[in-house]
Amino acid sequence: MMGIDPGLERLGYAVIEMEKNLYRVHGYGLVSTRQEDSVPLRLKTIYDDVRQLVEKYSPERILMEQLVFARNVTTAMVVSEVRGVVMLLAAQLSLPLEEIAPSQLKRAICGNGRATKSQIQRSVQRFLGLAEVPKPDDVADALALAMIGAMRR
């Protein structure tokens, strides 16, 4: 399962599977774009990099965080564009894509739909047995999304 936390500057990704009731982490990290590049070029970078990750890891499905509410309309629009790029890629590769609401992610990982970013990071670290807290929170969210997908399999 591939978890994706969409963002234009930083997109968090993680690939996890469940083996004998244990999580197996295949990889995680960030896809970053340069602020000085145009938005279309940054979206192309995201498309190309996520496609390479999908080709490398061959996930069964993508789980992506829903955009539920945003105070900043400009940020919401840009994140929506990134989400559209990921949706297009998934459709082109016939890869199932599931959207997870932030509150659903928090409830599944922390048992509380209002958990903080740091609570998510610590829960992900504990569940996956990571030596360090996953940072930044984009990566922790992507790991949590992939965990949800692996749990549901």
- List the binding residues for Mg(2+): 5, 65, 138
Task: Select which of 17, 19, 65, 141 is catalytic.
Answer: 65
The answer to whether 26 and 143 have CB atoms below 8 angstroms apart is: no
Task: Select which of 19, 55, 99, 138 is catalytic.
Answer: 138
Print burial letters for 66-86: b (CB count within 10 Å at least 16), e (below 16).
Answer: ebeeeeeeeeeebbebbbebb
Active site residue 99: no
Residue with tokens 């409830």: 107
Active site residue 138: yes
Active site residue 9: no
Neighbours of 145 (CB within 10 A): 30
Task: Select which of 5, 9, 48, 60 is catalytic.
Answer: 5
- CA dist., res. 71 & res. 87, Å (int): 23
- Residue numbers belonging to the annotated binding site: 5, 65, 138
- CA dist., res. 129 & res. 35, Å (int): 34
Query: The tokens of 65 are what?
Result: 């965080």
- Residues annotated as catalytic (active site), given as ranges: 5, 65, 138
